[in-house]
Structure 1
Amino acid sequence: MRTYVRIFSLTALLVFLALGGAAGAAKQKVTITLSEMKFAPNRITVQAGSAVELKLVNRGKVKHEFMVYTVPKAGLDPDELEKWAEENSYFKGLELKVEGGGIEVVGTNIFEVEIDAGKSAEVTFTPKQTGTFEIGCHIEGHYEKGMKGTLIVK
């Protein structure tokens, strides 16, 4: 009888741990629409340590890009700003998976995702660094016309 109780207790513990692990592993899913010089929503909050799946949908008439980086110093000109965004990418050293157009890329040195008009892409990553970061499109003239937003990682 004691053997059955031990087996039942061990089985119950394993089921509890498995269910608890599955619940904690749920992805944070956010859809971001890119259109004429804006991101919608333009403010996103996610939790550090939990996987995030961003679905980027370009409903605009032109190509857009999606970059996340440390908030830049004021007064940078557009060329300096794009370089700043690349050098200070949130994704630098972070494993990132990008899927779209029948292509999947996984890497730790991806700093931008370009999405053609009418297309979409999914970006999956697990945020580690907390803080407030800027989202921007640095295709010529887009950022200057207001195509930027905020990513908050808690």
Structure 2
Amino acid sequence: MRSIPVAALAFLVMAATGVPADAEPPQEYGKALAAADWSKMETVIVTLSEYAFTPSTLAFKEGVPAKLVIRNAGKANHYFVSGQFFGAIATRKVQSSDGEIKAPFFDAVEVYPGKTVEWFLIPMKKGTFGLLCTVQGHAEHGMKGTIEVR
């Protein structure tokens, strides 16, 4: 069975979010992305495995460009889902070794076993946001976490 490249999968997931194709992010998000100095971005790394996000709490700074590296060290596909966090960030792009996608909205990011996805973003709102894997049974087995924007 052939697997779908991560970038193509991200596009399919985005298309399934119910967000209209012509939807625009808040104007300040676009301005923040255009003004950002990506050479000074912070890197946050999270590893997905069977029933765990490591670390279980991810920390970002409001207004500071970041690269979120999502690695799947497990044997199963895993989802990175945090609806409230996704609504509180400006997304520049999501990329993998297969390509990249530039879109303002995401509903979920699925990462295949042994693969890595990099998400370039700017947290726009402070808060504490829930994180979970929506693969059936994974959250129930403890695959949950927290994202903090300070």
- TM-score normalised by L of structure 1: 0.68
CA distance in 2, matches of 1:111, 1:49: 21
Q: 1:96 to 1:137 in 2, by over 3 A?
A: farther
Letter in 2 for 1:61: K
Letter in 2 for 1:42: S
CA distance in 2, matches of 1:135, 1:28: 20
1:65-103 per-residue CA deviation (whole Å, 9 max, x = no partner) reads 111234xxxxxxxxxxxxxxxxxxx22373241111412
Q: Secondary structure in 2 aligned to 1:149?
A: strand
Shift of 1:137: 0.6
Aligned residues: percent identity? 32
Whether the 8 Å contact between 1:91 and 1:108 is mirrored in structure 2 is no
- TM-score normalised by L of structure 2: 0.70
User: What aligned pairs does 1:91-130 form with structure 2 within 5 A after superposition?
Assistant: 91-92=86-87, 94-130=90-126
Over alpha carbons, which structure has the higher Rg? 1
State the partner residue of 1:43: 57
Consecutive aligned runs of 4 or more in structure 1 exceeding 6 Å deviation:
none
State the partner residue of 2:43: 29
Whether the 8 Å contact between 1:30 and 1:55 is mirrored in structure 2 is yes
Shift of 1:108: 1.2
CA distance in 2, matches of 1:91, 1:69: 5
2:141 to 123, 141, 145: 145
CA distance in 2, matches of 1:127, 1:98: 15
**What is the root-mean-square deviation of aligned Cα atoms in Å?**
2.0
CA distance in 1, matches of 2:42, 2:82: 17
Letter in 2 for 1:64: H
CA distance in 2, matches of 1:66, 1:95: 15
State the partner residue of 1:60: 74
CA distance in 1, matches of 2:60, 2:140: 26
CA distance in 1, matches of 2:141, 2:58: 20
Q: Secondary structure in 2 aligned to 1:107?
A: coil
CA distance in 2, matches of 1:38, 1:96: 27
CA distance in 1, matches of 2:136, 2:97: 23
Give the number of equivalent residue pairs.
Answer: 114
Whether the 8 Å contact between 2:44 and 2:59 is mirrored in structure 1 is no
Gaps of 5+ in 2: 1-35
Q: Secondary structure in 1 aligned to 2:81?
A: strand
Gaps of 5+ in 1: 1-20, 71-89
